[in-house]
């Protein structure tokens, strides 16, 4: 039974390593999601500036087109004014031309303001585009680094899991079944230490008879509260003692 306890001690260490590795693996997609969300926000800001620039540019182009049309109207009206035969016709033509010129002046002011506004939007767009591209490059770099870390963690996890398989088969069938049930209900951590008549996993008090049987390696028991297999700290052997367990 002492050998079984030593095996359980080694399994406890491996389970804790696997738990930590899995925890680190699960953190990676969360961290990637965070930087991608920040990038998406940055891209949205860039898109807003791009749309503002394009809208402003279209407004300016329309104002320029309206201005050219108004200039054509003035030229045509001035040409027709030369054909006026009466003073009334001349005055009417002049009034029409004055109206066109007033409209032209307003359009010229609109075009000028639009040009100034467009330059502001152009500068904002350029800044937003630069920021987005820089952040995009950083995100791609970080994702590659995360992928490298993830692969190392996966390799380490698989190595530890393989080592665990070789140790589990050394348990007796009854204890193997007990261990699997305990692991299933405790997120893979099915073994914990008991000290001073207490389970260190859930801090519940253990009956003296149960504790003494565990302490003397007389039988394998699970905590009546959390369901983990209870072992003493003496059962946790170091890596260098693995050969002794396998004998």
Domains along the chain with CATH numbers: 27-152 (1.10.287.1490), 173-246 (no CATH)
Q: Which pLDDT score is estimated for 236?
A: 66
* DSSP letters spanning the chain: -HHHHHHHHHHHHHHHHHHHHHHHHHHHHHHHHHHHHHHHHHHHHHHHHHHHHHHHHHHHHHHHHHHHHHHHHHHHHHHHHTT--SHHHHHHHHHHHHHHHHHHHHHHHHHHHHHHHHHHHHHHHHHHHHHHHHHHHHHHHHHHHHHHHHHHHHHHHHHHHHHHHHHHTTS-HHHHHHHHHHHHTTTT--EEEEETTEETTT-PBPPHHHHHHHHTTS---B-TTT-PEEE-GGG---GGGHHHHH-
Is residue 100 predicted with pLDDT exceeding 90? no
- Max Cα–Cα distance, the chain, nearest Å: 129
Q: What is the pTM of this model?
A: 0.71
Residue 74 to residues 12, 79, 82, 228: CA-CA distances in angstroms?
93, 8, 13, 94
Q: Which pLDDT score is estimated for 117?
A: 86
For residue range 102-141, what is the model confidence (pLDDT) as tens digits?
A: 888 888 888 888 888 889 999 999 999 999 999 999 999 9
Average pLDDT taken over every residue of the chain: 89
N- to C-terminal Cα separation, the chain:
14
The percentage of residues in the chain with a pLDDT greater than 70, rounded to a whole number, is: 95
10 Å CB burial of residue 78 (0-12, 13-18, 19+) is middle
Is residue 62 predicted with pLDDT exceeding 70? yes
Is residue 2 predicted with pLDDT exceeding 50? yes
Q: Which pLDDT score is estimated for 243?
A: 36
């Amino acid at each position: 039974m002492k050998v079984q306890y030593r095996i359980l001690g080694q399994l406890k260490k491996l389970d804790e390593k696997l738990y930590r590795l899995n925890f680190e693996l699960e953190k990676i997609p969360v961290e990637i999601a965070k930087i991608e969300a920040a990038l998406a926000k940055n891209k949205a800001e860039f898109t807003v500036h791009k749309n503002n620039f394009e809208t402003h540019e279209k407004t300016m182009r329309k104002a320029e087109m309206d201005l050219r049309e108004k200039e054509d109207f003035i030229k045509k009206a001035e040409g027709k004014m030369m054909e006026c035969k009466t003073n009334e016709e001349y005055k009417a033509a002049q009034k029409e031309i004055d109206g066109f010129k007033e409209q032209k002046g307003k359009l010229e002011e609109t075009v000028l303001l639009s040009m100034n506004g467009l330059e502001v939007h152009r500068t904002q767009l350029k800044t937003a585009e630069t920021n987005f591209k820089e952040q995009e490059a950083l995100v791609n770099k970080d994702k590659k680094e995360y992928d490298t870390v993830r692969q190392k963690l996966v390799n380490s996890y698989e190595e530890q899991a393989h080592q665990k398989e070789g140790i589990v088969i050394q348990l007796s069938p009854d204890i193997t079944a007990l261990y699997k049930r305990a692991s299933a209900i405790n997120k893979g951590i099915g073994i914990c230490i008991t000290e001073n008549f207490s389970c260190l996993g859930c801090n519940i008090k253990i009956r003296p008879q149960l504790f003494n049987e565990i302490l003397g390696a007389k039988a394998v028991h699970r905590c009546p509260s959390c369901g983990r297999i209870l072992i003493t700290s003496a059962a946790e052997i170091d890596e260098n003692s693995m050969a002794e367990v396998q004998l």
